A and B are shown apart, each in its own frame.
Chain A
Amino acid sequence: KAGVTQTPRYLIKTRGQQVTLSCSPISGHRSVSWYQQTPGQGLQFLFEYFSETQRNKGNFPGRFSGRQFSNSRSEMNVSTLELGDSALYLCASRPGGQGRYGYTFGSGTRLTVV
């Protein structure tokens, strides 16, 4: 079956702009989480959505937001981009609930802010 799909793969934006990243989870998966990977901070949790509701949120400013649609696809938005937002943004999906199942990650979107 198809894996987690993230689009676009690469993105270059100018400081001050906003950006929207998309994630299509594995079919049947209802939970989608977003992570930011940077060389200095490693992998950090942004937020998790389950059945269109934000279930958990990491320690990021309000410029970072997300949503989930009824088909479980998710988008994250970053407004007023800063140079420090340059990172690999990873989306991960899992079936849902509180089961002990490892997430399946997408290949990520590489965002460069100039």
Chain B
Amino acid sequence: DQQVKQNSPSLSVQEGRISILNCDYTNSMFDYFLWYKKYPAEGPTFLISISSIKDKNEDGRFTVFLNKSAKHLSLHIVPSQPGDSAVYFCASPYGGSQGNLIFGKGTKLSVKP
């Protein structure tokens, strides 16, 4: 049973436009979320996080929105750049401890020049 779901395996966006990556979760006890970016042959790189006491967190071109009632979060990248092409994972720590991250299956973003 997937507790963190990324229903879009892939997304293609034109350079300069907005990329929106979505993530849904089923466990209402999840109160912290992280986004990771992964290039082939490399480990995931931490991008941005959000606590459930907020509904938005921004860091440069990256903004994460959290809708607790819908159990949904999204990562917005504005403007998208070709270097953003990678697989993006949404994750949440199980049981409140970051020792055990539950990951979504990822969304592969392709930003075309």
Contacts and interface: CB of A to CB of B under 8 A. Distances in A.
Contact of A4 (B36, B43, B91, B96): B43
Interface residues of A, number: 28
Q: How large is the interface on B (under 10, 10 to 19, 20 to 34, 35 or more residues)?
A: 20 to 34
A108 interface: yes
B30 to A, nearest CB: 13
Interface string B78-113: 000000000001010010111111111110000000
> By DSSP majority rule, is chain A's interface helix, strand, loop, or mixed?
strand
Contact of B98 (A43, A100, A106, A107): A100
Contacts of A104: 46
Given A43-B89, A56-B97, A102 B51 contact: no
Interface of A: 4, 31, 33, 35, 42-45, 48, 50, 55-56, 58, 90, 92, 94, 98-108, 110
